[in-house]
Amino acid sequence: MIEIKNLHASVEEKEILRGINLTIKPGEVHAIMGPNGSGKSTLASVIAGREDFEVTDGSINYFGEDLTEMEPDERAHAGVFLAFQYPVEIPGVSNTYFLRQAVNAMREARGEDELDAKSFLDMVKKRAAEVHMNPDLLKRQVNFGFSGGEKKKNEIFQMAVLDPKLAVLDETDSGLDIDALKVVADGVNALRNENRMILVITHYQRLLEYIVPDFVHVLVDGRIVKSGGKELALELEKEGYAELEAQTANA
């Protein structure tokens, strides 16, 4: 379980998150929607532990531990996964090598033996099939020369391989055509289970037709101003954020 309480966070001394409260339980899929600049990606970054983001108040309790005290790699070892809004190109490193390093780093942190090359490849191929990814992606350099869609698919593929407890998808749908969107959504849906927590951050309601969330939250100006079921997304689609933004401004 992840329990975010009164979370305040700043970048370069500018406060972006101004009191977030959010609890996600195993098996739940939560969606966070909101206009540009509302703090959606900041929330994702703070959960994953990106430098430059300073938590000034509040807490993130993750299975009884204070997530904000952990290094980014320790968070990953504890099962936190962030699908990046802008996956990073790393020329000179093959996807296979990178993933094997990642998998073995996780195993080492859990006190397990390293996977040998064959067991690793078998596992990776199995996971690729589960999320309908082309295993050819493995041979290529990490995100290097990938199309926007391929990069996002690669994120979901990594998620499948790393098997996280908490997956945060930061605008994974942005910029995707409908075919790529379906592949990404199918991948995420295949990874839904009773143990996994998923936080979908999106700008567009369309994604939520394919990944149907249990809860929807609206983030405006660093605060969650409205929460509800999946129908909230439709409501927002009709009315837009303008009214909510106006309400916040008046508050």
Partner 1 sequence: MSQLMEAKDTFLSLFDEASSDRSGEPGWLRQLRQNAMDRFGEMGLPKATDEAWRETSIKPIVEGTFGRSSSSESALASDYYYKGFDAHQLVFVNGRFNAERSNIGDLPAGVKLTNFADAVTKYGEMVQDYLGRLCDWKERSFAALNTALAGDGYFLHVPKNTVVDRPINVLWISEPGDQAAASFARNILIVEESADVKLVETHIGPQGTTYLTCPVTENFVSANANVDHYVVQDDSTKAFHIGEQCLEQGRDSRFRSHTFTFGASITRNGVFGYLRGENIDSILNGLYVLRGKQHCATFMQMEHIAPHCDSHELYKGVLDEESSGVFRGRIFVHQTAQKTDAKQTNQNLLLTDKAQVMSKPQLEIYADDVKCTHGATTGQLDREALFYLRSRGLRKNEARALLIHAFASDLTERVQIDAIRDKVEELLWERLPRS
Q: Which residues bind partner 1 (CB under 8 A)?
A: 48-51, 71-73, 75-77, 81-82, 84, 87-88, 90-93, 98, 101-103, 105-106, 109, 158, 162
Contact predicate 249/242, CB 8 Å: no
CA distance 190 to 184: 10
| Cβ distance to partner 1 smaller for residue 95 or 202 | 95
CA distance 120 to 191: 19
Which residues does 138 contact at the CB level (< 8 Å), separation at least 6?
Answer: 94, 95, 96, 99, 124, 128
Per DSSP, the three-state class of 54 is strand
| Cβ distance to partner 1 smaller for residue 145 or 251 | 145
* Nearest approach, Cβ of residue 95 and partner 1 (Å): 11
* Nearest approach, Cβ of residue 92 and partner 1 (Å): 3
How many angstroms from the chain centroid is the CA of residue 100? Answer: 21
Q: What is the DSSP string of 175-244?
A: T--HHHHHHHHHHHHHT--TT-EEEEEES-TTHHHHS--SEEEEEETTEEEEEESTHHHHHHHHH-SHHH
| Cβ distance to partner 1 smaller for residue 113 or 194 | 113
* Nearest approach, Cβ of residue 143 and partner 1 (Å): 9
* Nearest approach, Cβ of residue 32 and partner 1 (Å): 19
| Cβ distance to partner 1 smaller for residue 100 or 217 | 100
CA angle 39, 148, 207 (to 5 degrees): 55
* Nearest approach, Cβ of residue 168 and partner 1 (Å): 10
CA distance 227 to 203: 16
| Cβ distance to partner 1 smaller for residue 161 or 236 | 161
* Nearest approach, Cβ of residue 169 and partner 1 (Å): 13
Per DSSP, the three-state class of 84 is coil
| Cβ distance to partner 1 smaller for residue 90 or 234 | 90
How many angstroms from the chain centroid is the CA of residue 156? Answer: 10
